[in-house]
Amino acid sequence: MLRRSLLKALVAGAASPLSRWPRGMFAPASAKNRIRPSDPAWPSKDEWKRLSDAVGGNLISVESPINACLASPESDACKELFGNLKNPYYIGESPGMTQTLGWVDAWTTKPSVYAVAARNAADIAAAVDFARNHNLRLVVKGGGHSYQGTSNAPDSLLIWTRHLHDIAIENDFVPQGCQGRHAPQKAVTLGSGAFWYQAYDAVTTKAAAYVQGGGCTTVGVAGLIQSGGFGSFSKHYGTAASGLLEAEVVTADGKIRVANTCTNPDLFWALKGGGGGTFAAISKLTLRVRDLPELAGGAGFTVKASSDDAYRRLVRQFVGFYRESLFNDHWGEQARFSADNKLDIGMVHLGLTTEESRKIWQPFLDWLAQSPSAYTIEPGLIIGSMPFRHWWDVDWRKEHHHDVFKSDFRPNANTYNVWWNGDSGQVGWVIWGFESLWLPAALLADDSLEKLANALFAASRSSDVELHFNKGLAGAPAEAITAAKDTATNPLVCDAFALAIVADGQGPAYPGIPNHEPRIAEGRKAANSVHRCMNALRALAPQGGAYVSESNYFEPDFQHSFWGSNHARLAEIKKKYDPDGLFFVHNGVGSEPWSHDGFSKL
């Protein structure tokens, strides 16, 4: 205590003469390095107690359940933990955990020292003020799905929004300050810790309406909106960020502000795709709600080709078929091309009957049927539609034997804690390599289609490559494209017919836990394959850009890859609202002056 007061007195005494020198020349140590618990200037117990009081007792000392495993790897508790690490709800409810456990040679999940389990914007403001005044590393976590590890930081104070999940639908929402300028419209306001299943349950299952969000049910609403955000039906509705009408945020100065097109419009624009954890901490957001179409559906099947040559023809046929029949706002989601000469179709449609959707695919199925020795459709082909209202309806899906969700398997868990089967491979995973690239629609032109097919074939020799058609807006209605242009997302998204994603990794693992270690050598090899694979596509789209939240931790020239021509404006807004860089994330806007962990100014 005495030492700390002495230190404070010395710093205070030194401050005035030094202030005559140019900024930064004799910057006090605190401006260069944020404080860690080992530092004498780390806040005292009394100071933490004051923060705890200010947030109604919701200051938590954070423990990672992984620590128990590190201490006794053979214990039953450790075995149980590795089971639970396959459950996104278990992970999401633990302030010391993240949905991705790490990335080989990049980062490993580590808990903060303390977390403010925020219940409202005032709690967030108290945390922001405390971190700023004590020069602490601050981090914000919602759903915890960051692949880049941007929602965890050791030695930090965490703002944890999990308990901020109130949801309210209004028929006549007008953004604050927009009275008389904006017509009232239907909207949903969500606490920033809500995740998409909660949003869809409230808006679609219960209220028979639609809100554009993300695909994965457990992704957090605030993280996704700040990413730009794509859901299965984005080819029709556009990015999730385009539907943002208003956000309530706490900026680095600790002020609670509203951001919309009439109030703080620059900040509002930056929040729409400028990247999470960068401009402010969001406490709630309001999104546009639309009418619900009657039907949605999909096409799912796997074709296996009997030889490389047959596969090459299959890829060529599929991209031509895509251009002719699927390149429109009805069809989204994915096709996957693999080294084992398989084409996996996992696409969704909006607004078509079962008959219509089957008719669309028939020419492709006929083409396959003409060469039975070259192509086999694996059992389980399904093409059809269903009432859209029940897309996220757990009870309806169960009743109709749609085995699409995995459920929280803990005793007494809420039966509505579900996630798509297709997302289960990423729960608790460790990434080896992950890259993305927007593919311009010009590649679908007559004189490019062959090149595109050849590049996809070549890419698939190194690693599985997925085309996410709903994450490129070419083919979307003009309204969706215009709205996306008014966000911070890289404008290239508007000219892209798909986002190519290549990724590899392993199930739950953690360094230092025997039999559960990340497989480093295998991971590095896989990362090289991922890179080689994507380079085959990059040759066709060298300036393609990457989707900020589904991209390479080591993305070169990330500023332009993630935001393209929008980066310069984002950098200005960052300087205006957070000149000292309180909000830091790896490869975020304004992250350049900081060390990779956000602790030291370079």
Query: Where do contacts with ligand FAD occur on this chain (CB under 6 A)?
Result: 99-100, 140-147, 150-151, 161, 192, 214-216, 219-220, 222-224, 226-227, 229-230, 276-277, 281-282, 423, 426, 549-550, 585
Between 219 and 473, CB nearer to ligand FAD: 219
**In 3D, which of 210, 372, 400 has the Cα closest to residue 305?**
372
Q: E strands within 95-250?
A: 102-103, 107-108, 114-117, 137-141, 156-160, 167-173, 185-191, 209-210, 244-250
Tell me the two tokens of residue 503.
């990724």
Using only C-alpha atoms, what is the Rg of the chain? 25
CA distances from 275 to 484, 490, 562 (A): 15, 11, 9
Instruction: Tell the smallest beta-carbon distance from residue 225 to ligand FAD (Å).
Output: 9
Angstrom distance (rounded) from CA 545 to CA 566: 12
Q: Which helix (H) or strand (E) holds 386?
A: strand 382-387
Instruction: Tell the smallest beta-carbon distance from residue 235 to ligand FAD (Å).
Output: 13
The torsion angle over the Cα atoms of residues 414, 419, 425 and 427, rounded to 10 degrees, is: -50
Instruction: Tell the smallest beta-carbon distance from residue 220 to ligand FAD (Å).
Output: 2
Contact 90, 224 (CB under 8 A): no
Other CB atoms within 10 A of residue 4 CB: 14
User: What is the number of H-type helices and E-type strands within the chain?
Assistant: 19, 23
Q: Kindly report the backbone phi and psi dihedral angles of residue 298, in degrees, each rounded to the nearest multiple of 5, phi listed first.
A: -175, 180
Angstrom distance (rounded) from CA 170 to CA 488: 27
Instruction: Tell the smallest beta-carbon distance from residue 179 to ligand FAD (Å).
Output: 26
Instruction: Tell the smallest beta-carbon distance from residue 100 to ligand FAD (Å).
Output: 6
Instruction: Tell the smallest beta-carbon distance from residue 7 to ligand FAD (Å).
Output: 31
**How does DSSP classify residue 402?**
-
Instruction: Tell the smallest beta-carbon distance from residue 219 to ligand FAD (Å).
Output: 4
Between 276 and 475, CB nearer to ligand FAD: 276
Three-state secondary structure along 457-516?
Answer: HHHHCCCCEEEEHHHCCCCCCHHHHHHHHCCCCCHHHHHEEEEEEEEEEECCCCCCCCCC
Between 115 and 224, CB nearer to ligand FAD: 224
H helix intervals, 134-282? 196-200, 221-227, 234-237, 265-271
Between 109 and 317, CB nearer to ligand FAD: 109
Angstrom distance (rounded) from CA 488 to CA 485: 8
Contact 430, 516 (CB under 8 A): no
CA distances from 131 to 22, 43, 159 (A): 25, 10, 10
Tell me the two tokens of residue 257.
């502000």
What SS3 class is residue 306?
coil
Contact 350, 293 (CB under 8 A): yes
Between 135 and 591, CB nearer to ligand FAD: 591
Instruction: Tell the smallest beta-carbon distance from residue 144 to ligand FAD (Å).
Output: 4
What SS3 class is residue 374?
coil
Tell me the two tokens of residue 535.
């380079």
Between 147 and 200, CB nearer to ligand FAD: 147
Contact 314, 343 (CB under 8 A): yes
Between 123 and 329, CB nearer to ligand FAD: 123
